[in-house]
Chains A and B, each alone.
Chain A
């Protein structure tokens, strides 16, 4: 039976393992993700690993609401999120798996939109979706669509990035404005409109990372500050590195509309999620080289040096406020909640 992508809905048979499921897989997923590994139709993807390379692997599940938001959707996010986690090791992400948990009654039209967006996101960053799975849950037992992706990338064995490499004197660099994704989603969820649109920064950072490696600057560590925002990533890394960080608040790039929206809702942009940002550490005297390479890339145009690593037995992240005062940064506890008074 042909899939009715215009008016059809997901029903229980689409997860049954039978013909309807095969129709969904063939008619939608295989067509959109189109690549020779997936086309074999086998239960597993067999992958050729370039000689001498190590593998880097990561997985992430996506349960975002709303499914569509300004600047992206759950499909593109499911690609970017996992690709970025793999890329933070300096690896080049090549393959993804995709697991879908669909809720009975979900419009196939919306599913098709999500799947094509996922396919485009994967194509744009040179990643193949090589294996997948589909399950359907009864109406009321899911939130439309949940997606899990796992990603595998190849890594030059000479690269060793991580918090253990961070040393006193390192520079800390972000590739652009923070807080965009979380505020775009929150604004859509709460139906808030601002003069300037709030757009998610959802993007695959793998290509930017490759440019950063090629710049010749000695990268020590990278982290994508997603949930919990920049503040949480800084606090975690300071703890893991065994050093303290000193941040200059006015150096942190934040779009005016994001600052404004945060003010109205009583939120701190440092704690708001990002999906296309990375935090990089390199020796201070190589920061200019790294910054130049980043700024030459479309995803690093607003790259900025925001602070440096200092000696501190307590591993605090200390921020100099624009008024010249100091405050400590800690990690997010629970959900960021709008204030009430």
Chain B
């Protein structure tokens, strides 16, 4: 079986079985590292770091990188397309069902409860990223536990967002420049 066929089959499986946000594909990639000589577990750690710090959803970035490591540029493209293919098929069915059921009373009351739960997921993500970015926990409870420069930038950002409500790209771009200027 050619490497492309193997790659396609493996990433179709990952796309079909990984449920949940961010790094849900990671356990599957660890298994690939163990069962093929495409990449090592150590290389995966670099892939996570790069996938998290470049644009694009982490899961997609990881698939492109892993596919590239296994079989070059075509491998990267093939792995990514294979990963999303099951989602496309499932989404086609779901949207058909949505057209039929979304005005159903039962579905409406389900979403009444789902929306606050999803807001909690977002709030939890916000807390998680604040903890990583604004607080230094490595040295325990020491004087430098708060990262003052970043907290200041965070506060300024929130203030500007509240006041001007500009497109997120302005804040992302501005913060990148401030990050370089202040050596954050």
Genuine A/B complex = no
Report B's interface with A, CB cutoff 8 A. none
